[in-house]
Each structure stands twice: as C-alpha cells, then as structure tokens.
Chains A and B, each alone.
Chain A
C-alpha cells in the first residue's frame, strides 16, 4: 500500500530510509521513525482490529502505550523460524522496521467481514455479568458445554504456540536519582539532578526518543526557540555527562518497596539488523536513593454513541500523527472537545491542510483564548454543542451534533460529514507508579483528577503526572524536582516557555436525547464496556468501584483502563450522586504496561531455571546409566537399570545384591556439620535428645533432634572425632535448616557457649559400602585403620586414608548390613569410588540408588524424617523413645514432651502394614480405616507413609502411622486404593531380619 496520507514534508521520520511491513499479507510502506500505527494511517487504513466482545470494527485511538483498540499479532522475526510471534501488541508502540509481519486479531474470516460481529446485534444479551447470570445452570453443563465454548471464545488475540526462542537479559543497577519519563519535566529534572557529577542519574523513557509530548509539538517555544531545540540541547547535555544513563524504549512498570523500581528495556525489536543472540528485552531492577516520577498524563475519550468508530481518535494523538509522523488521518476533521488543548490539534491540522471544524461541549463563555485563536484561523467552532452519535461503517463518516439548551435540552440536530474525529475529554495524570509506591492520592476538583498527595517512599512527582499542564509550569516543576532529589543542591535554570491552552470541563457522557437502552457509548474500548453496562452494574448493587470493575471488566486487560478509568469512575459517582473521592479509585497494580514473561524470567529458564547440585560422583553415575531424581536441589541417582530392566527389576537386583554381596551407594548429599569448640559436647547435649557426654572419641551415635514443640525435626549419625569435635550428619534435605536451627540457639539462647558450627556438606564425598562383602572390598585400600570387628566395631569412626586419600571412615549402616561410609575430600570422590567399584567387581559389587536405599532401610524398619514424620510426630510416636535422655535436665523440645497431649493415649504410632495380597503395593499416603463399610465420612485411623515391593522379603511391605498403632498389631484394617479398599494387617515395622554379621543400629 502506498502512502496517500503522508505529508510531503515534516515529521520526525527519515524519508531517506523507506521500509515495509507486512500487514495481513499486504505490504505497508513507511519510513524509519514510523510506528505500525502511523504507517496504517499513512496508507489510509483506519480499521485495525475487531473488538473483544461485540467484534465491532476498531481503529487507532491513541499514539502511545495507552492504546486500547489497535492490538496486533506481531511476528518479530519471521525469517528466523516459528516462535517469534506474540499477540496484543499496540500498533501505536510497535516501531516499524523491515521484516515485521503483523496481523489484526479477533475476526473471522477477515478483518473487513467478521462473522463474530453478529455479537454486536445480539448485544442486548451480552450485558454486564452475562456469564455470571447465564451459565449458572444446569450444573452439569458447565464442564462439557459452557466452559469449552467460553474458553474458545475468550481471550484477546491468540497465545503463542511455541516456547519463546528469544534471549532476555537482566540487570541490577543503583542510582542516586532515577527519573521515569523523559518529557519536559523528566528532562528538566535530569538536568538539575545530574548537575552534580557525583550523583548517578538514570533517565528512562518508554518512547523511542526523549521529548514526550514535545515530540508532537511544533508551536511551543522555550526561551524563544522551538521546544524540540531545547529537548535536543538537553539530551546533548545529558549525553555528555558521565554520571547519566539515558534509557530510551524503557518502561518503568513497577514501583516496589524501598525505591526498587523495575524497568523493561526493548533492546532489539526495533532493529532490523539485530544480530541473532542479542537480547530482545532487558529487565532493569533499579534501586534508587531518590525517584522522580515524570510520567505525564493520559487524554480522556468522550463518551457518545458509536464513539468507537475507526477514525475517531484522541485529539492529542491526532496532533501527534500530523506533526510527528507527517500523516493526515483524513481530509475532513471534526474536533469534539471539552478541553482547551484540543484546539491546538485543530489549529495544527488546519495548518497541515485538513478541513477542520470544532464542536465544543463548553459554552463560549467558559472557553479561554483558544476560542479566538481557532476562529481567527478560520475554523468553525460550535460551542455549547453535543455529539448525539457517530455514523459510518468501518470508518466514521459523519457526526450528528446538536446544541445543548440552557435547561439541558437537546436542540435541532445537524449532521456534519467527516472522515476523522479528534476527541478530548480532558486529561488524567498518570499516577500509576506513584500509587504503586503506596503514595496517597488526593482528588483535585479543579482539574477533576486524582493527583499525588502524600509520599511514602523517597520520591516526588513532577509535571503533568501531578496535574500541571502548562509547559512553563511543567519545566519549572521538573527543574525543582531534580534539584530536590539531590537535596536542593542544584539551582533551577529559569526558562521561559510559551503559554499552552489548558483547562477542561469534566463531562462523563455527552448529553443526548437518544434512548439510552438502545445505544452503545463506550467507556472502555478494550473490554467493550458501555455506559449501559456500568449503569446496570450500579443498579444491581455494585457500588464499590472495585466491584463495578470486576463485574463489568472496565479498566481491565492490557491497557488497564488508562483512557477509561476516570470516565467510569465519574459515571459511577454521578449515578450514585456521590463525590468522586467518596467512590475512590481502583488499585493501580504493576505492571504499568504488559511485560513479557521472558523479560521477567531473563536467563532463568531450562537448565538455568534452578541450580542443580551434583555430587562428585554424579559424572560416574551418568556414564553408568543412572536414572536420576531431584531431591531438593540435588540430583541423585535413583537406580541403575541394566539392559531391558524397568525400575522394579533394577530395584530387585540392587536390593538383593546388598543383602547377598555388596552394594555401593553415593551418600554425598548427606548434610554434614562440624561442631567444634570447648563447649561442643554441652551444645550437643542441649540440641539433641541423646546424651553425648558418655560418647567416647571415635564413637558414633544415632542422634535425634526435636523442635522446641517436641516434634521430630531431623536425625542422623553423629561421630565424635575428638573431645571437642563432632561430625554431625543430617538428612539430605535438612542440612540448611538444621544448621540454621543450631545457629539460632547458639547465637540467641546460649551465646555463652564457645562453639563453632561449620557446614562441611560439600567438603566430603560419601561412599557407602553396604553388604556382607563390604569389608572385603574396602580392606585392600585402607591404611592406618584396622577393619576387624573388634578393632573397628559397628557405630565407630576412624580417620586414616583410603586409596592414599585422607578419610573419615564410618562403620555405620542404613541397611542393617555390615556397612562403611567412606568420607573423602570431594575432589577425590569419583576416583575413590571408581577404584572401589572396579576392585569390587570380583565380589559382585552393585551400585544402587536412592530407591533401593529406601527399600533397604524400610526392610529393617528405619524411618526417614519427613516421610514417616510430618512435623507432628514425637520420638515415641515413631518408636524412638529410647533415644530420648531421661537424665538430662533440659534439651530443645524436652519440656514439650510432657505436655498432656504429647503423652495422651491413642496417638498415631509407627507400625508396619502387610497387605493380604503379598503382591499388592499400597499407595504412599493412602488413608487407613477400620471398616470400609461404615458411612461416609469415614473415621480414618491413619495413613501409609512408606510402601515398597521388597524382593528380600518376597512381598510388599509398608510403614504406616496408625492411631494407637502398637496396641493394634495383628488387627486387620483397610487402606484406600484408587478404586476402593484393600485389606492389610498391622505388624511391627521391621520386615527383614539380617543374617550373618549384622548391624544392630
């Protein structure tokens, strides 16, 4: 499409750099500096999409990030393959470049002819709350009928089909002053704030170039020069200052605690030459000492019948297209306004060669100097007039206007032909970030808007975002804000700016004599919310603005009601006959504009999503076919299948090998803490239930740790390496919290104890050798340690070396078999493992994983904290009361163990469960009942905590926590299965008796 509506000269576009964009398969022509919206208008294409609910034709309303209507699906890198498309991009912010493929949304079969538009005719049905009211019954229709249909029809645009192939960057930054918005106020603030070279200043603006509203402005002057000259000087000055970071295309979207402000920078979408691998967007997390918000304001639409016709635009936006992008959005323009600023649009459009008329809602007497200026320029101005409706199909063709009588009556109607309309209902300061900072808003009746009142954080607003609209006042405010942000050190630069047309008369809905129940006058364009819907919501009792918002959806979706909120609010206040502050405003939540998930996630995806902790033996396990499982952040070998084996077959082989020959297991993930110091034994006495004084150097003990409330917190073998040195092991998942728990008591309750706690989890690789042949495998490689039963009995520890590597050798067992845990420095872990494994071949050594480890420990009745226990189990509940010292006067949790409920009869206790069918394996977590025939709700008497197929026992085994379980041994109970119940007998929680040289842990 050529550019019939492009002006011959002017604008901030580069006519020497033509470019094309694919639009619904057609070629749009434009220039560097264009947005897709300006290219569409240059080609005469106003129809840019279909609306969400009624599928009404929609055009381009605005020129910025507040655009509610012109939403496009954009394939950013069509040439690089699939996955670069995303929906709901605002045509007004998508910078044009070669290679973009854009499509309109919400229509079928085509944009111009849309079957879904029948919804517009059916609209009497689709009132506010339609879904809530219609799909209530019959209940069974919900899953099968309603939900699938609603899901199909719901949503704006189409979600991407592929994982996002782009890269995203993430950056943290600190600044003395962060300024959001580089319009006149923001630039002025940056100039004063950065005048002190020691202050680091970041100036971010969502636009492609700084200047804000001045980019649209050909008439204002600053110090006698065109305003943009001042902007260029300011930018040059800031560019020359090393303490300033200027960020164009960077939106401040979230203001969090303690001046933590998040920005998203669009790095490469606008670049045709972006190299592959360049980040698409960059998330900036800025921590600023001081913040200046210079976020400007949004223009309000006017609400009248058919105000959504393509060709009806916001007045300032139309001016922007004419001046900044050198586009005439039509030949015949009607400016409909309640605001003085729209006269500037009329004058500029007239100067650009458009035919222009003005319809002003205000009476002539209420207008300012703008009225004379327009009339002097030969523009017909109808003051005291209203718009009854817009006429037209896919493009506005005329407005029906009428004078408003002094009594509010509607006078004789007049139809004015046009092909575009510029409307202005006044201005709304953009207080989103201020409000997110928890600042309090105040309603300023003078300018009919909420403005920043009390700051909660170290920030201040400047310019239009606090309701200043005159250029001179905006600049002065910006200079002052920047100076204030650095403690008033910089003196404001006095400048003289030309006066602007300011002031407006708030109007919620234009007066009309049409039957209000038969017309559509849109308040929220994006959600198709009309005046009728809001009136209905209030009539039905939704008086809180938050409720009205949720019931009608006004102010929701991608634009978050930037253009619509004040009209909706005013309308509700008017119906309720309350002042606006009494109605309040909806909450401004981040993000200010849509942010891609990619930007938020940054590099934290796929393998970088979460760090994976690997043991020193992980590489060997991977090479030897291990199937891994995540255990906390750790990656652990679950089992080692041989050719043709499934998990059950591998488990059978691994568990049998441990009991018949020897197994080798990577226990490096065990938490390890070294407790050292003159008071180490006393500290252990207080933290653990066991008594430690009698444990000799070289001895090991199974330690049990409680929380202060008396419930089991962690367990593990503890070795006394020396009088004042304990090597404590914890559960794999418990290591960090056990250390924290110990440090807590050491630092806060017993600071008098002379003890040091050190995490040594990562220092030691732990190789467990378990089984009757464990000693035979180990013996040839050990020096300085004698392995015989008498010299090195069960539950002792020795230091020496294995394979020439220093080691802490534990004689311990988590399987019931003869066992050693070889602790060697992590760097030697794989080498020692490989040596032992290779030498063990002649003994039938078998590597086993966590799954076999679990089965083996359950066979001999060892609990796993966190599996058998759930934070409500006492030592006695899990059969470990023997580990609780009766003589120690105190330890963490002791006092709680004698509270009445802790010693009450009938507590849930650890027992075994044997299914009637020995081949049936219960579900872990299955509930247990006494009688499956009892009425629902049944009385549950416990639950299954561990359940396995045990090859060594030749049957299934399970552990369970059962009410008063130990007294019920021998009773028959029933456990839930996916299809019903299965019978089982309560048994002691030990299933396998170890033969030969046994461990008696």
Chain B
C-alpha cells in the first residue's frame, strides 16, 4: 500500500485517498467560446506519460482537500505533493531532493 503525503495532514495510507486524474488542466473560463474540437480535448485528451505525472488527489477520508502530486508512473513513487493552485514543481530538483 502506498503512502501519500497530504500537504495538510502528512503521510497517510493510500486507502484514504481518491485519485482525480491528470492535474493542471484548467477549465476554460468561457466554455462557450471554445471550439468543439478544443472542448473535446479538454474533456478527454490526457498525456498518459511514462514517468513523472502530475495528478490530482483528494484526501477523501481525511481533511477532504484536493491537492496535486507528482507521481512516477513506472515506479509508482510519489516524488512530491503540493497544494492546488501552485505550479508544478521542477521534477529534476524534486528528484534530487528525494
């Protein structure tokens, strides 16, 4: 079972969390102005990288807050977690830190 560091509560077991898919996909401010194609890709197109992936997590059985995480999709390792609204950390310096 993974340990995930909630930015607000600290490390907790994976079962307390709910994954919400890829992070940093902002909802357009005025969806009406978006083309069908662009809206379709906002809805459905994801990067699915091999390696570091920024994703949204909810500490569902805890503080109830959403946050972002950088996870390595190959090793399953959480490189870091960070608060919603903050930019994606630089993965290289984060790896060096870990």
> A: which residues have CB within 8 A of B?
256-258, 260, 287, 438, 456, 708-709, 740, 743-744, 747-749, 751, 889-890, 894-896, 899-900
Contact between A260 and B1, CB atoms less than 8 A apart: yes
Whether A899 lies near B58 (C-beta < 8 A) is: no
* Other-chain contact of A895, B26, B32, B60 (Cβ < 8 Å): B32
In whole angstroms, how far apart are the Cα atoms of A899 and B39 in the complex?
9
Partner of B85, one of A709, A751, A894, A899: A751
Report chain B residues within 8 Å CB of A258: 1-3
Q: Is B93 an interface residue (CB 8 A)?
A: no
Alpha-carbon gap, A218 to B5, bound state (A)? 50
Task: Give bound CA distance, A744 to B58, whole Å.
Answer: 8
B34 touches A748 (CB 8 A): no
Closest B residue by C-beta to A708: B43
Q: Write the chain B residue with the least CB distance to A737.
A: B18
B-to-A contact residues, CB < 8 Å? 1-3, 14, 18, 20, 26-28, 30-32, 34, 36, 39-40, 43, 56, 58, 60, 64-66, 75-76, 84-85
A258-B1, A260-B1 provided; 4 other pairs, C-beta below 8 A? A287-B3, A747-B66, A748-B56, A748-B66
* Whole-angstrom CA separation of A751 from B34 in the bound complex: 22
* Neighbouring A residues of B75 by C-beta, 8 Å: 438, 456
CA distance A709 to B42 in the complex (A): 10
The answer, among A438, A709, A744, for a CB contact under 8 Å with B66, is A744
**What would be 24 A-B contacts, judged by CB atoms less than 8 Å apart?**
A257-B1, A257-B3, A257-B76, A258-B3, A260-B1, A260-B3, A287-B3, A456-B75, A708-B27, A740-B18, A743-B66, A744-B20, A747-B65, A747-B66, A747-B84, A749-B27, A889-B32, A890-B31, A890-B32, A895-B28, A895-B31, A896-B43, A899-B39, A900-B36
Chain A residues contacting B65 (CB-CB under 8 Å) are 747
- The verdict on A894 contacting B36 (CB below 8 Å), with A740-B18, A744-B20, A751-B84 known, is no
Query: In the complex, A751→B67 CA distance in Å?
Result: 13
- B85 in contact with A896 (CB, 8 Å): no
Query: For A751, what are the chain B residues with a Cβ–Cβ distance below 8 Å?
Result: 84-85
Name the residue of chain A whose CB is nearest to the CB of B3.
A258
CB neighbours of B18 from chain A (8 A): 740
Closest 9 CB pairs of A and B: A895-B31, A258-B3, A747-B66, A257-B2, A260-B1, A749-B27, A895-B39, A748-B66, A899-B36
A438 cross-chain contacts in B, Cβ below 8 A: 75
In the complex, what residues of B have CB within 8 A of residue A895's CB? 28, 31-32, 34, 39
Task: Tell me the bound Cα distance from A258 to B36 in angstroms.
Answer: 43
List residues of chain A with CB within 8 A of the CB of B31.
890, 894-895
**How far does the Cβ of B55 sit from chain A's closest Cβ, in whole Å?**
12
List chain B residues, Cβ under 8 A from A257. Answer: 1-3, 14, 76
Query: Residue of B at shortest CB range from A743?
Result: B64
A899 and B43 alpha carbons, distance in the complex (Å): 12
CB distance from A292 to the nearest CB of B (A): 19
The CA-CA distance from A749 to B56 in the complex, in Å, is 12
Bound: A743/B56 CA distance, A: 13
Q: With both chains docked as a complex, state the minimum distance between the C-beta of A633 and any C-beta of chain B, in angstroms.
A: 14
Known: A287-B3, A456-B75, A740-B60. A709 touches B84 (CB 8 A): no
Q: Could you tell me the distance between the alpha carbons of A257 and B39 in the complex, rounded to whole angstroms? A: 37
How far is the CB of B39 from the nearest CB of chain A, in Å? 5
B84 contacts which of A287, A748, A890, A900 (Cβ < 8 Å)?
A748
Which residues of A are found within 8 Å of B85, using beta-carbon distances?
A: 751
For the complex formed, measure the closest distance between the CB of A941 and the CB atoms of chain B, giving whole angstroms: 27
Bound CA–CA A394/B2 (angstroms): 51
Residues of chain B within 8 A (CB-CB) of A287 are: 3
B-side contacts of A894, CB under 8 Å: 31-32
The smallest C-beta distance from A889 to any residue of chain B, in angstroms, reads 6
Task: Please give, as numbers and ranges, the residues of chain B lying within 8 Å of A260 by CB-CB distance.
Answer: 1, 3
Question: Distance in Å from the Cβ of A886 to the closest Cβ of chain B?
Answer: 12
Q: Separation in Å of the A188 CB from the closest CB of chain B?
A: 29
A839 to B43: give the CA distance in the assembly, Å: 54
Q: Output the least CB separation between A682 and chain B (Å).
A: 15
Most chain A beta-carbon contacts within 10 A, residue among B26, B43, B65, B75: B43
A453 to chain B, nearest CB (A): 16
Considering the complex, give the chain A residue whose CB is closest to the CB of B14. Answer: A257
Task: Determine how close the nearest CB of chain A comes to the CB of B33; give it in whole angstroms.
Answer: 9
Nearest Cβ distance between residue B50 and chain A, in whole angstroms?
A: 16
Name the B residues within 8 Å of A899 (CB-CB): 36, 39-40
- Of the candidates B14, B31, B56, the one having the most CB atoms from chain A within 10 angstroms of its own CB is B31
A438 to B72, CA, bound (A): 14
Residue of A nearest to B4 (CB): A258
Residue of B nearest to A895 (CB): B31
The residue in chain A whose Cβ has the minimal distance to the Cβ of B64 is A743
Residues of A within 8 A of B28 (CB): 895
Nearest B residue (CB) for A893:
B31
CB distance from A420 to the nearest CB of B (A): 46
Distance in angstroms between the alpha carbons of A899 and B38 in the assembled complex: 11
Taken together as a complex, chains A and B put the C-alpha atoms of A890 and B28 apart, in Å, by 11
A817 and B20 CA atoms in complex are apart in Å by 41
Query: A896–B32 Cα gap in the complex (Å)?
Result: 10
Residues of A within 8 A of B26 (CB): 749
Q: Please indicate which of the listed interface residues B30, B39, B65 has the most CB atoms of chain A within 10 Å of its own CB.
A: B39
In the complex, chain B residues whose CB is within 8 Å of the CB of A740:
18, 58, 60
Chain A contacts of B36 at CB under 8 A?
Answer: 899-900
A685 to chain B, nearest CB (A): 14
Chain A's closest residue to B44 (CB) is: A709
Cα separation A890 to B32 with both chains bound (whole Å):
8
A709 to B31, CA, bound (A): 12
CB neighbours (8 Å) of B64 from chain A are 743
Q: How far is the CA of A945 from the CA of B72 in the complex (A)?
A: 42
Question: Which residues of chain B come closer than 8 Å to A743, judged between CB atoms?
Answer: 58, 64, 66
- Which residue in chain B gives the minimum CB-CB distance to A745? B27
Distance from A748 Cβ to chain B, minimum over Cβ atoms (Å): 5
Bound together, the chains give a CA A889 to CA B1 distance in angstroms of 44
Question: Are B84 and A256 in touch, CB under 8 angstroms?
Answer: no
* Chain B residues positioned under 8 Å from A748 (CB to CB): 56, 66, 84
Q: How far is the CB of B19 from chain A (nearest CB, A)?
A: 12
Residues of A within 8 A of B14 (CB): 257
- The docked-state distance in angstroms from the alpha carbon of A541 to that of B65 is 54
Residues in A whose Cβ lies below 8 Å from that of B32: 889-890, 894-895
Q: Which residues of the other chain, A, contact B30 by a CB distance below 8 angstroms?
A: 889-890
Task: Give the CA-CA distance A709 to B41 in the complex, in Å.
Answer: 11
Nearest Cβ distance between residue A902 and chain B, in whole angstroms? Answer: 10
Taking CB as reference atom, which chain B residue is nearest A757? B64
Which residues of B are found within 8 Å of A744, using beta-carbon distances? Answer: 20, 58, 66
- In the docked arrangement, what's the CA distance between A260 and B18, Å? 19
Shortest A861–chain B CB gap in Å is 31
Docked Cα-Cα span, A141 to B65, in Å, equals: 58
Contact A256 B1 (CB under 8 A): yes
- Complex CA distance for A708 and B43, rounded to whole angstroms: 7
Contacts of A708 in B (CB 8 A): 27, 43
A896–B39 CB distance below 8 A: yes
Q: Kindly state the separation between the CA atoms of A260 and B13 in the bound complex, as whole angstroms.
A: 10
Among B14, B66, B76, B84, max chain A CB count under 10 A is at B66
B64: min CB distance to chain A, Å = 6
Which residue of chain B is the closest to A894 with respect to CB atoms? B31
Residues of B within 8 A of A896 (CB): 39, 43
A438 and B20 CA atoms in complex are apart in Å by: 26
Residues of A within 8 A of B40 (CB): 899
- The residue of chain B having its C-beta at the shortest distance from the C-beta of A709 within the complex is B43
Q: A900: which B residues are within 8 A, CB to CB? A: 36
Kindly provide the distance from the CB of B38 to the nearest chain A CB, expressed in whole angstroms.
10
| Distance between B95 CB and nearest chain A CB, rounded to angstroms | 14
Which residues from chain B contact A749 at a C-beta distance below 8 Å? 26-27
Q: Complex formed: what's the CA distance from A456 to B77 in Å?
A: 10
Instruction: For A739, give the chain B residue with the smallest CB separation.
Output: B64
In the bound complex, residues from chain B placing their C-beta under 8 Å from that of A709 are 43
Among residues of B, the one whose C-beta sits closest to the C-beta of A747 is B66
Bound CA span A438–B32, Å: 48
Most buried by B among A257, A747, A748: A748
The smallest beta-carbon distance between B57 and chain A, in angstroms, is 11
